Structure formats: structure tokens, C-alpha cells
Amino acid sequence: MKLKKQVTVCGAAIFCVAVFSLYLMLDRVQHDPTRHQSGGNFPRSQISVLQNRIEQLEQLLEENHEIISHIKDSVLELTAHAEGQPALPHHTPNGSWVLPPESRPSFLSVSPQDCQFALGGKGQSPDLQMLAVYSLLPFENQDGGVWKQGFDITYEPGEWDAEPLQVFVVPHSHNDPGWIKTFDKYYYDQTQHILNSMVLKMQEDPRRRFIWSEISFFSKWWDNISAQKRAAVRRLVGNGQLEMVTGGWVMPDEANSHYFAMIDQLIEGHQWLEKNIGVTPRSGWAVDPFGHSSTMPYLLKRSNLTAMLIQRVHYAIKKHFAATQNLEFMWRQTWDPDASTDIFCHMMPFYSYDVPHTCGPDPKICCQFDFKRLPGGRINCPWKVPPRAITDANVAERAQLLLDQYRKKSKLYRSKVLLVPLGDDFRYDKPQEWDAQFLNYQRIFDFLNSQPSLHVQAQFGTLSDYFDALYKKAGIVPGMRPPGFPVLSGDFFSYADREDHYWTGYYTSRPFYKSLDRVLEAHLREAEILYSLALAHARRAGADSRYPRSDYALLSNARRNLGLFQHHDAITGTAKEAVVVDYGVRLLHSLTNLKHVIINAAHYLVLGDKDAYRHDPAAPFLVTDETRPSQDSLPERTVVKLDASPRFLVVFNPLEQERLSVVPVLVDSPHARVLSEEGQPLPAQLSARWASATDTVPDVYQVSVLARLPALGLRVLRLHKSLEGHAALKASVRLYLHGRDPPGRRQEAVPLHVFPAAAEDFCLENQHLRACFSGRSGLLQSIRRAGEEREQRVSSEFLVYGTRTSKDKSGAYLFLPDGEAKPYAPKDPPVVRVTEGPLFSEVASYYQHVQTVVRLYNVPGVEGLSLDVSCLVDIRDHVNKELALRFSTDIESDDTFFTDLNGFQIQPRRYQRKLPLQANFYPMPTMAYIQDAQSRLTLHTAQALGVSSLGSGQLEVILDRRLMQDDNRGLGQGLKDNKRTCNRFRLLLERRATANKVQDGRPVSFPSLLSHVTSMHLNAEALVMPVAREKLAPAALRSFVPLSTALPCDFHILNLRTLQAEDDSLPSAEAALILHRKGFDCSLEAKNLGFNCTTSQGKLALGSLFQGLELGSLQPTSLTLMYPLGTASNSTDVRLDPMEIATFRVRLG
């Protein structure tokens, strides 16, 4: 009662201060004596007076905001000491469950300045906006002659007289870390021979050059070579003959990969290069990813690379950019106000990165200069004119023929410097090929360079040799914007390489592994953070010698396996079946290891008496939450056995925000209750565990407990077997059979009512939402938000796409549907099961190929503001079919929808009627939304899938695809290895408070804070770890709260990654703290977040952030730690601009 009085008094105080501040503001604006002198020497125009008033108002608003923030903090302090447990729910006479109001108020306090960012308006607009380019282009596929997808190129002979053409031929070998063969098989069969020959052959002539990008292969080779060979490699890198380009662990897919993993594989590669070769990459090289994301230039720029190259872009865009000499540009982020994200980008102009498509527009001629195809070899030229070895007799004619191609290619670019890649997949694996290419080209170069009348200088070069020469011609330092080059913003999805062959199928192909990827990613982040914190606390206690530091090798291995899977034939689902299994085994192996790392760290951190810590690998202190019997099976959750003595649970919250979550635990008794570590009962719901649509699993029950979990913390809970009336509250179940047999066995413990059919539609509701469902199909029909009159139609349906009857059919890469989707028509109507309980209610619909569950959490805060949707898909008996889930609404979205890029940023999309249906699909790694002036509907996803909006108010996602044939892109297989796959989503309907047409027409958009947090909840679930030992003294374990203050809610701790010591299997005392400040849109109402959400204009005090630890040092660095940024100062306060990701080298202890 006393607390309620305090809260009331403080609330009244806040109101009074707000009113009084506004009164003061108006008073000062009217009577401010200083304002009258502020005109100075300027003319006293109306506008400048108004401007001054506005500035003063902004300043006063800011002061007011700070005053209110201080009062809120004091209210928080008052309430923090109050009972922090959620109150217990109770049943009302009308049969619904009510949760008492929260004992702790929660605040949303966003500084007005922090809302300005999403409004934009600063900075110049780019010369090329990809959304506008798409709208402008006709996308006609006219025959361009020898350059089939382009046009005839002509030039005047004297064009290079004043400034000669400078040609850099760049030898490269594209090595896929898994595709047709596994990573190891490729290494043993080809890659090791390529690298061995490279060391030998490069030393024969100092004019030779070579570039390499995949560090996963390079590090494996390095581990197997002599010290002498390593020294030779360092010399070749040092003298500029060998260049490491991009330097990531792999050349990642840019559609399905999440930015955590993209950054992690970049750090892994860069750290390896720095430690072993002492080199920092300068240029990016991405010749094979199937379309390009604008996240990549941002990451490369923040890693201090100065230029980059891309290749797989829609042929119509290549042609348009070639015709307007826009193939080289400064690539800028859509949200960048001051050009700080600009990076120079070179787009290759032709069909492929192989030799026939890189010397110039005519592949028939270029193929004659691929000397691996000399007669007598295993491969030849499809254009029927073979290469000829270069001799004194033919060099003049051959050189002239090649120069003509070089000159034509150079006409597509703005500078007189030309890049000519020379390579292909797994090239240069035999010494003979090195000789054939290098000796013949050197003869051509020697001839060209000896003829002043030709005005050409040709040589071998690395990628950076090319960019450096271009910068030198422009008279600027690397990284600056060369004069006369355009600025571009946007991305390059979706990709078509010819005709209407859109590479939009791989956004969904093999969704089981796309999901497993994200599970591993979440576990890696959790393990990194807990390991770093446990090690720092152990170090501070002087106990680090007893801590299993060997866990670091497991972490390192998991980073590399997750990194490997970001490869553009792995997460894409475009490798051979045996290779997919190899990836799956690696992912599962690392997932299992990471669970051990997490358990060891959690064990140390929750022990009340740290001296009692003993690491026993044979008998782990905690049990993993779930197990996976094999790489392609769904997880099986651990069942906790209850008896007279209490069982303890340790629950980890991987979010940097406190969360109020429903935590599920499986137990072997219906008589369970859950207590906090202080012994207070917690709200809990008892449900049956279902084995099928109608049958329960005997002797297994789910207890779902509502617990408040500290940010990045570990909460200790107690499970008791209880026979008296204190057990968990039971959910009730209604089962609508629709023609199926009634259940064989029933669990007496959970009330079950069986009906032959659902008579009518029905609804579920909590304090935020009411969701209504079709009685017949069990599928969602509408949502109504609390306090609104109108129901919003949000109906869901399953659809099926077929594939074409013509020769070109859908495959792992391509989506070539046979027209619009047809409704999914199962043999039988579904069994519909409706569960209603105090903490959550759900509707499960069991169809032949998909089981869908829509759950509504009856809890305050984030969990209760959206619908939890999961689809268990099994289409193993389908033939050439793709299963889609479509939501249809009244939202007047017209032709616009929004998809995320890599979970990092949002890209507006437009449905293009002039393009085929499959061209309008885009990658969706974490979310997609549609909106109009009133509403926004966001589909959040826990795995990357393909998404589109094919009509106004629609949003649809492809769940799985089963295809019986290859699609002629080199794989040689269809997609027939489908698994039972669980796709998880959150559906969030938000009201838009302030929307305007100008704002909505801009090529940039942001999620709301609620949307960001919802996405985090979905992707970083609480981890439940039962204590293995049955008998424990209650005082032995203590909850672990690592943060001393709440983080601003637009900050995300992307990683806290312990850095390696000299011995790379051991940790050093330093870690990389990677922070991301999210951009968000304030125009969506965000009430009832359930946690205290404040923003701070990007300011964060790191010195006092980690409770019980000191920040020994703090050094801002480039993204991948290669370059220190500025000098390490004594200040531990940092500031980030919205959208920025920043890395700090820290020492905690």
C-alpha cells in the first residue's frame, strides 16, 4: 500500500513538473530579453525570429525531457525495492483469465532528438537510387549482338592518344568452401594444389600477381605447410604479388545471412590474417553471391576497406549502367546523412566472372585467351574457336585482337584504367595451367607495351593495384570519392542472369538448415557473452586457473563452422545433398559444444560460493535444455523429473534488456509449482504435451512459468512437486475432430473437451489484443487491438506454387512458377485444438502437410503485444510444389512493401507489374512489413525465407520447396532432401500515429522500438538449464545480474567476443565489445512495452556498465579490430550515431 502511495505521489509530481515546464517555456518564449539581442547584425526578419523560437522550444523540450527522466529514475528506484515478482493470475466468473496489473510500472522515454533520425531530410540525395532505377527501366531483353545482353560498343582509334589505356589483368581462383564436393574434399582434391603451385610459380617472375579471398581454405593449408613455405607466402604478400581480398572466412551469401554472422566471419578471417601474415585487406571481392546487399559495403567500409567489386547483378541493370557509364560508383547507405558510409564499388559488366566474359564484350574472342583451354586439354571453348599459344609469329595479330576487346570494355567505364579478371572456379590447380596463362599473357603484354602507337600499358595486377591506379589518375587518396563518379544507394536484389530466370528460390531452399543456422548463431552469441563474463569474474577472483579455459577452442571452432555456413552455397541451400549433410554435421557439432560452454559459464556465475567451483566434464552441473539426435532432426526437449526435494532451474536471458517471459519446462508430474529463489510462488500454467493432433504424451507435462529475467542475466528458479492446491494453474483444451477418430488415451490432469466439429468462429484475447479464428480451418481471420472499435482483417491461408511445364523449371536457385499460387487443398479438414490458459492461449490446426500454432500470451509487455505463429512443415510427398503462407488484410499498402537486409536495415520494395511474379520475391532474414496511413503489419521471422506482397494488403512467405530437377546452374540435383521443418514467426500489428505521404515515399524506413524488441524476443529465446544434481542447499545458487544499469533500448550488444592469445586455442585478457545502435521510427505507438525503455541520444557509460567488474581499458577500433580509431582515452563514455555498429577492444576484470 505504501508503495502505491509513493508511485501515485511521484506520478503526480511528474505531471506537475511537465505542466509547469511547459508554462515556463511559453513564458520564456514571450518574455526572453536575450532573444531580442540575438538578431545581431542580421536583418530582423520574421523567419529568423521564428527559427530562434523553434530552437529555444527544442532546447526547453530537451530540458523538460531530462527533468522527467530524473523523476522516472527515482520512481524506478522506489519501485525496484518493491516485490518484483509478477502477481498470480485468477479466473473471473465469465470464464476468462485475468492477470493482475504489474506491480512495477514501466516507462517508455524517448528523447525527441532520437526521433529525428527516422524523419531524415539531412544530406544530399544520391545520383542513383535503386528503387527509382527499377521503376524507370523497361527490363526489355533485346538481343545485343556478340554481347547478347548488352549492345554494340564502338570507339575512335585515337581516343587513347592523350591518355593511354592502363590494363590490369588480375589472376584469381574462385574456391567454394563446399558446393559439388565438401569443404575437405575440395581442399584435398584442388585447393591445396592451387596454393602450393602459387608459391612455386609466383616466385618465378616478380611481375606475376594473384588474389585470394577464402580464409577458411587458406588457414587449413597454412596449418599443413612448412615454416619455409610460410616465409615465402609472407614475402609474396609483402612485395605486393599476392593480395588477400575481402579477407573473410568465406565469400558470404548476402541474401539469407544475418549481420551477426557476416561480421563474425569477417572478424575471424581478419584476425587470422593479422596474426599469421600480418596483413590487413584493402579491397572487397564478391564475384559469386547471387545478388548483393547494401549491408556489405557498410561492413567493409567500417572495416577500413577502401574499395569493393561485385558481379552478379540483374543483366538489365548491368546494361543500363554500362550505357550510362555508371558501373563504378560510391555506394552509400540509404540512411546516411553525411556520406560517411561511402565506399567505391566496381560492378563487372558481363554475364559471368569466367574468362570468356571478362576480357571484353565478345565471349567468342575472350575464350581464345583462356589458355587453360588450349587444344588437348580437358575443357574447350563452346564457341568453337580454340585458343592459340602465343608465338613471335602470331603475337601482333593476337595482341591486336585482345586489345580491341580491352578498349571496348573500357568504353563502359569513366576512367582510362581497366580491370580484367583472369580466372574461374578452382583454377590454377596444376603447374601447367600457371605456365599456360602467365607465359602467354606475358608475351602479349611485352608486345603491347613495346608499341607506343597502341597507347596501352598492360600488366598483371592485384585488385588493389587496379584501384590504386584509378585513384592516382583521379588524384585522390584511397577511400576518397573520385571526382566525376556517381553516388548510388539501395541494393541489388533480386538477381536474374538471363531471360526471366530469377534467382529467388534460394531465399527459401532447404529452410531446415536456414533455421539451424540461426539457432547456432544465437547460441554462439550467448556462449561468447557468458564465457567472457565468467572468465572476467574468475580472473577478478583469481580463479581463472580453475576455469575451463579450454572451452575457448570450442568457441573458436563454432565461430568457424558458423562462418563456413555463411558461404554462398551453404546457407543458400544450393549444395549437393552429401555436402548439405556435411554442413549439418558441423552445425550440430558446434551447437552441442556451445551448450557445454554456456553450461560451464552459467555454473560458475550462479554459484554463491565461487571457491566451491569444480569443473567436471564427466558430470556437468547443468543439463542442456534440449538435444538433437542427428543433424537433420528437430530438437527434443529435456524432461525434468520431480520428487520430494526441489529441482533448480537456471534461466538465461540473452537480451540486453530485462524481459518478462513465459518460460516453458517439461516435467514428469502434473503436480508442479514454481518458486523464485527467495521462495515466492510464480505464476505458472500446466498444459499437456501433445504427441499428435489428438493424443498426448503419457507422463509428460509442460509447466510454463512467468518470470522476470535480468538483462544478460541468469535467474535461479525452484521446481517443486506439490500435492496440495498450490500447483500450476491448468489450461483447458477444446478438440474439434472434423471427421478424425477421438483420442485413444487422455490425461486426466488437463481438462479436455472433444467436439465432432467447430460450430462457429471463435476468438482469443488478452489485455492488448483480440484474435479471431475460423472454426472450420482454425486459421487466423482478424485482429483487434485493445481500445479500438474496428477489427483489422488479417486472414491467413496456405497456398501452393507449381513449376513450369516447359524445359526451364524451378530448382535450388531459380523460382519459375507455373502462374499464381493455388489454394492448398488437403485431403481432410484439419483437427483444430484450442487451448485456453492463464498465461497463454493457442489454436493448433493439424493439416496433412503443415501444423500451425497461433499463440497469444496473456502477459503484460512485449510478449503479449504480438501473435506467436509457428508452422511445422512436411512436404516430403510433394512433387514440384512450393508451400506458401499468405496474410491478407485491409491495409491499403498498394504496391509497396518492406523487407530487411541481413537483419540490419530495412529496404522498401515495390511490386513491379512489368516483371514476372518470381521477380517480386525478396529475401527476408528477420522481417517484412506492409503499411498504410493508419496501420503497419510486420511479419517477424526466426529463419531466412523468401517473401513478397503480390497485391495490396498482402504479405506472403514461402515455407518450403520440393523440386525434382536441376535448374541448370551447375548443381546437377533437384531439392529432394526435405526435412520436417519448424518455421517460427511473430505477427505484430501496430497503429501509426503520424504518417505522411512524403515520408512514406522515401527510399528508407525503420521498424519501431517495439518491433525491434519483438524481433529480439523471437530470435533470442530464454535458455532453460535444469541443475543436474537433485539435492542442493537453496543458498548454494544465486541469480546473476551482470549489468549495473539498464542499457538504452536502442542499443544492442551484438557480441562480447574474447580475443585469442598467442596460442590461438587459449583466450587473452581482451575482448571485442561490439555495439549496434538501432534506427527506429517513433510514429508507431509503443505503449506497454513491459520494460523500462529509455534512449540517450546514443550516449552510453561503459565504465560502470558491468556490475562487479572494472573496465581496465577501452580502445575504439575498426569493425574487425584491425585498426585502432583515435587514441585510447581515460573516458569510458561512448557515443554512437543511429544505425552505426562500433567495436571496442576492452579489458574486463
Mind telling me the catalytic residues? 288
What is the C-alpha to C-alpha distance for residues 1139 and 341, in angstroms, rounded to an integer?
11
* Residue 711: closest CA among 1053, 1025, 1012, 1015: 1053
Q: Which amino acid is at 678?
A: E
Residue 476 Cα distances to 461, 482, 1107, angstroms: 20, 7, 48
What is the C-alpha to C-alpha distance for residues 591 and 520, in angstroms, rounded to an integer?
6
The three-class DSSP label of residue 613 is: coil
The three-class DSSP label of residue 308 is: strand
Specify the DSSP class assigned to residue 151: -
Cell numbers for 475: 588524384
Query: What is the enclosing helix (H) or strand (E) of 528?
Result: helix 511-540
What is the C-alpha to C-alpha distance for residues 321 and 342, in angstroms, rounded to an integer?
19
Residue 865 Cα distances to 114, 457, 682, 769, 771, angstroms: 23, 65, 21, 7, 11
What is the C-alpha to C-alpha distance for residues 491 and 128, in angstroms, rounded to an integer?
11
**CA angle, 583 as apex, 582 and 589 as ends, to 5°?**
90
Rg over alpha carbons for the chain, rounded to the nearest Å, is 31
HSE-CB for 638 with a 13 A CA cutoff: 16
Residue 1017 Cα distances to 765, 766, 868, 1022, angstroms: 21, 19, 11, 8
How do strand 165-174 and strand 935-941 relate by DSSP bridges?
Answer: unpaired
Q: What stretches of 383-453 show up as alpha helix (H) in DSSP?
A: 395-410, 431-449
Specify the DSSP class assigned to residue 643: -
Residue 256 φ/ψ, nearest 5 degrees: -95, -15
How do strand 684-690 and strand 729-730 relate by DSSP bridges?
Answer: parallel
The three-class DSSP label of residue 232 is: helix
Residue 290 Cα distances to 177, 336, 373, 905, angstroms: 16, 25, 27, 19
Residues 86 and 706: beta-carbon distance below 8 Å: yes
What is the C-alpha to C-alpha distance for residues 520 and 555, in angstroms, rounded to an integer?
11
1142 conformational bin, left if phi > 0, alpha if psi -120 to 50, beta if neither: beta
What is the C-alpha to C-alpha distance for residues 123 and 112, in angstroms, rounded to an integer?
20
Residue 464 Cα distances to 5, 146, 174, 291, 478, angstroms: 69, 30, 17, 23, 10
* Residue 771: closest CA among 864, 634, 642: 864
Tell me how crowded residue 637 is: count the other CB atoms within 10 A of its CB: 16
* Residue 987: closest CA among 707, 780, 788: 780
Residue 999 Cα distances to 588, 876, 1138, angstroms: 45, 45, 18
Residue 1046 Cα distances to 10, 559, 631, 656, 1030, angstroms: 21, 29, 38, 8, 34
Q: Which amino acid is at 281?
A: P
Residues 881 and 801: beta-carbon distance below 8 Å: yes
What is the C-alpha to C-alpha distance for residues 1077 and 1099, in angstroms, rounded to an integer?
10
Maximum distance among all alpha carbons in the chain?
Answer: 103
Q: Which residues contact 385 (CB under 8 A, 6 or more apart)?
A: 364, 367, 368
**CA angle, 313 as apex, 307 and 319 as ends, to 5°?**
100
